[in-house]
Structure formats: C-alpha cells, structure tokens
Amino acid sequence: MPTIEISYKDLCNLIGKKIPIKELEKEGILFVKGEFEEVDGDRIKLEIADTNRPDLWSVEGIARELKTKYNIESGAINYTSKKSGLKLTIDRNLKKIRPLTVCAVIKKINITEEVLFQIIQLQEKVCETFGRNRDQAAIGIYDYDKITGPITYKAFDPDKTKFQPLDYPQEITLRQILSKHPKGKEYGDLLEGFDKYPLFIDSVGEVLSMPPVINSEHTGKVTKDTHNLFIECSGHDMKFIVPALNVVVSALIDRGGKLETVEIEDNGKTIISPDFSLKEIIVSKELIIKTLGETITDKKIIQLLKGARFDVKEEKESFKVYYAPYRQDIMHPMDIVEDILIGYGFNNIVPESPQIITEHSLIGEEQFARDIADIMVGLSCQEVMSYVLTNKDYLFKNMDIDPETQKIIEIDNAVSKNWCVFRTWIIPQLLEIFSKNTNREYPQQIFEIGQVVIPDEKAETRAINPIRIAWGIIDKNSDFTKAKQALDFLMGSLGVSYEIIEAEHNSFIPGRCGRVKVNGKKIAYIGEIHPQVLGNWKLDYPVAAFELNLTELYKAVNR
C-alpha cells in the first residue's frame, strides 16, 4: 500500500477550507481509504489502502475527493483542453522494445518547492506501484520551453548515441548509462537483450530521455523556474500508460495548470493525447438497493453519486453514471456501488439477522474433497496450498505450452505481474513448490486440492470453478508407475473403477502420458513431466504427477 507525505497547509489550500487536523485524522482521511502514520508539524505521512486508485496517491487527489465531503464541490470534474500544436512520431522499430507512449502539455503552472516535491512523489509512486517498477508505465516530465518540436520517439544504437543524463556531470553512451548511472543500474534490466534503446528526441537533436531509465539533464530537469511542462508516459499496453498519464495530468490541472493536447503519429494512425472526456457506465437501481440492503430514494442516490465525484443521468430502472478518466479502477457497476456505500457510511447500515432456519454443514462436494485429503495423507503425502492467482510464465512458458492455444481469465490492471491470471490447472504450482525446495530431502510427495478458473461463455459469470486435486512426486526413481500406484490407492479407497488411455500433452513425456476415464468421461491427466519442463523449473530429478477433476469425480461417485 502506497505511503505518501503531504503538507497539512498545502492540503487545506487545495481543499479551499481549513479542516482541523484531528478531524482529518479521525474521519476525513478515511473518506479516501487513508490512515495517518505520522504527524510532524506541518508534515503528514499517510498510508493509502486502495491500491486500485492511483489518483488518490497524491495530495491533489485527496483534496479533490475531500472537497465533496466538505460540500465545496460535487460531481465529476470536466477537464478542458486545447491543442498545443506539438506533434510526436513513434518509430516502428520500437515495436519489440517499448512501443507505446501517450503525452500531454501543461502550461502556466506555478511550481513551488512543495509542488515539485508532490510531482516527483506522485510520479515515483505511479511508476513503481501501478507501473510495476517502470516496466508497464514510466513517466517523464520535462521543461517544455527547452524542447523544439516536433518530437520523435525512436530506437538508437546504444554504443553510438550519447547524451547527458539527469544529475550526471557529462555525456555518456546509452549503454554506459546502464552501468554508470544509479538509475541505469536500477532499471537497466528493462532494456536487457535489445540491440537498440528508445529515446525521445526533439527536432534539433536534443535528447529528452531514455525511457524507462532516465531523463536528460537539459530538458528533463524541472525547477521552480519551470512554468510549462511536457509529460510523456511510455510502456507496452494502453491500459497502463493512459491511466498513469491521466493521474499525473489531473493533479497538475488541480494545481492551476492549463491542459494542452499532443498529436501522436503511430505508424499511420493519429492519436490526440490525452483524452479527458468523461466515461460512462450504467448502474441499475436494483443492484444499488440490493447491495445496500436498505430502501433509499433516487434523490439520495444521486446525491451520493455526486459526492463520489460522478455526474448522473437518471433513467427509469438505472442511472447513467459519468466519471473522470483518472478513474481507471471502474470496470463493473459494483465499483460505482462501492463508492455509494462509502458515501452512505458503512456504520450507518443497520445489520439484520436473516430470517431463515439453516443447519450448518459442509456441502457434499466439499466433504468429498476433505475425505480425499485424508486418503492422500494416508499415502504419506504432504498437503500444500497455493493461490488461485498465478502468472502466464508458470501456466504456459515453464510448462512448454503455447498460450495461444489456451483461454484464461486475466486481472485487469493487476498490481503484480506475478499474480495476474487465474490458474487453469494446479500442477504448475506443485512444480513451483518443488523448485523452491531443491535443498530438501528426497523423495518429496505433495498434493493440493483447490479450485481452478476455466472460461465458459455459457456460465453466468463466464467462468466455472471446478475443484481439482493435483498430486506429484519428485525423486530419482519417479515414473509413470509411481503415479499410477498413487491413483490406484485413491480410486481404490473410493471404490471407483477407471481406465487410462494414451494421450499427448506438451508438459508430459510422449508415451508416458495418459487420460483417466471414469464412466466414459475424461477427468484427469497422469504421467511423467517432460525433461524440458523440468529444466524450465530448474529441477534435477524426475517428476510424476496427475491432476484429477474432483467435481466430475464426485458426480460419478454419487450417481
């Protein structure tokens, strides 16, 4: 969770009203999911709990929200802009390096020491947390008056191109920056393996920066004497760089800056950046009332929506809600309902006990899974637990599977690239556990029972969550026979007959992989893990494994 430092006086100036610091600590800051960590005179350290709201990671964003709480403003902010006349061209050779950028110009901004501190702090927080340490989003801020347009975003030879990086005494080559400059050492791995490095360069050959590493000393140094800014955000995916730019730009507009757009030419396609028009989403009245659990008038709902910085158009059964482009976290109507609940106040909701009579007990499938866990423990296996969230490398690359052949569900705007997709099977996570325990005694025999998430367009949520068991053993003598013996023990304990038919799967050795069938239905894979996969996980011993669909097995057992 991001921790930021703000000035109490600066916050009150931005709000337009002096709020007693005790009131802010006790109530006001909770409105933005914040918490006081430390107060030292005018300086306040805050922890912001909402990792999906980078627009709240700055004093400007906090003040923007608190203005509605203290009845100074309400509704969405309609940011206006005009054309700057600046053009930027993206070179096609950047496609495999760092292909995308969005930009903006901010004019007539008064930069004080505090404003400069807040700009740098927000830039760093957005790039580190939301931008995944500059991999998905890196922001550069420049003195616009030192730039001669148009600008080109292009790839250059790292050994033949020089410029003076920020806070460095002389010009050095792009490759030398990665080994000599502190920022080059910190972020140089993001350019590792490329023959050319990206640069922003103006029409007279002045380098602006080498993203995502460092700005130049000439154009990339912003001081109290700077009044006009050029801002760019580079990366690989618009879903990261557009919100990152919007968050920083909206904070600067709140400081009194005037927004101007940039014309970006990207391989024949022209983009006007940034687009600060309001976005919209439809939210049903039924969903709001059902979630709140209390009767509430349409007038009150509209009031709460405006208090959450939304504009509203009421329709017969729903509300059309308009929101500012810095709100990248809104992906579903429930995200709007959450803000309504925050405005309403969770403590104002009166709890009620449900008027139903129930007996507490496990559902049959869950009890079945627990019984199977007991059986596997009887086989001298150790039960493990891992997250339903994982990443594409574990699911596909390490398992020697082409990702284009598999459908998965990804997390939109995931905070961590290690936890960005839902797992579709469990064996990869067993191999991960083996890879982290190579210094332990062998054999290692483990199992996990848990849900996987399989895309299914026919399901209400467009996904199903079957329960599976994955078993694996790693040892110098692990083979198909060991896997079949474990499966025999499990199926025999359940009194289930099964058959194995030969199958092919990239993660298993050809000829040593099978499909398990019960009552004619395929419910499992079993076999020896392929040596290429073992190498990907840096495993030195053979692994045998199976993965069984317990949801389908439960149906077969209880026919």
User: How many angstroms separate the CA atoms of 488 and 479, rounded?
Assistant: 15
- pTM for this prediction: 0.70
Sign (positive or negative) of CA dihedral 546, 549, 553, 556: negative
CATH topology of domain 3-69: Phenylalanyl-tRNA Synthetase; Chain B, domain 1 (3.30.56)
Cis (ω within 30 of 0) for the bond into 211? no
**Distance in Å from the first CA to the final CA of the chain:** 49
Non-local (6+) Cβ contacts of 331 within 8 A are 412
- Please give, one letter per residue, the 3-state secondary structure of 95-110: CCCCCEEEEEEEECCC
CATH topology of domain 82-273: Phenylalanyl-tRNA Synthetase; Chain B, domain 3 (3.50.40)
Question: Vertex 15, ends 13 and 19: CA angle to 5°?
Answer: 85
Q: Are 139 and 127 in contact (CB under 8 A)?
A: yes
Please report the DSSP string for 50-63 in residue order: -TT-GGGSSHHHHH
What is the H or E stretch that residue 431 is in? helix 427-435
> How confident is the model over 170-202, as pLDDT tens digits?
999 999 999 999 999 999 999 988 999 999 999
Question: Vertex 450, ends 444 and 454: CA angle to 5°?
Answer: 120
**Nearest by Cα to 516 from 494, 537, 531:** 494
**Nearest by Cα to 56 from 337, 259, 327, 277:** 327
Residue-by-residue pLDDT tens, the chain, 559 positions: 688 999 999 999 999 999 999 888 888 888 888 889 888 999 999 998 877 889 999 999 999 999 988 889 889 998 999 999 999 999 988 989 999 999 999 999 999 999 999 999 999 999 988 888 899 999 999 999 999 989 999 999 999 999 999 999 999 999 999 999 999 999 999 998 899 999 999 999 999 999 999 999 999 899 999 999 999 999 999 989 999 999 999 999 999 999 999 999 998 899 999 999 999 999 999 999 988 888 889 999 999 999 999 999 999 899 999 999 999 889 899 999 999 988 888 878 888 777 776 666 557 788 888 999 999 998 889 999 999 999 999 999 999 999 888 889 988 767 677 788 999 999 999 999 999 999 889 999 999 999 999 999 888 888 999 999 999 999 999 999 999 999 999 999 999 999 999 999 999 999 999 999 998 899 999 999 999 999 999 999 999 999 999 998 988 877 6
Take residue 513 and report the two structure tokens written for it. Answer: 């992989």
Q: Domain 364-557's class? A: alpha beta
Q: Per CATH, the architecture of 279-346 is what?
A: 2-Layer Sandwich (3.30)
Local structure of residue 462 (DSSP, 8 states): S
> How confident is the model over 342-378, as pLDDT tens digits?
888 887 888 877 777 666 655 778 888 899 999 999 8
Q: Are 539 and 398 in contact (CB under 8 A)?
A: no
Domain boundaries, the chain: 3-69, 82-273, 279-346, 364-557
Local structure of residue 544 (DSSP, 8 states): E
Q: Is 24 exposed, middle or buried (0-12, 13-18, 19+ CB in 10 A)?
A: buried
Q: Are 372 and 470 in contact (CB under 8 A)?
A: no
Q: Do domains 3-69 and 279-346 have the same CATH topology?
A: yes
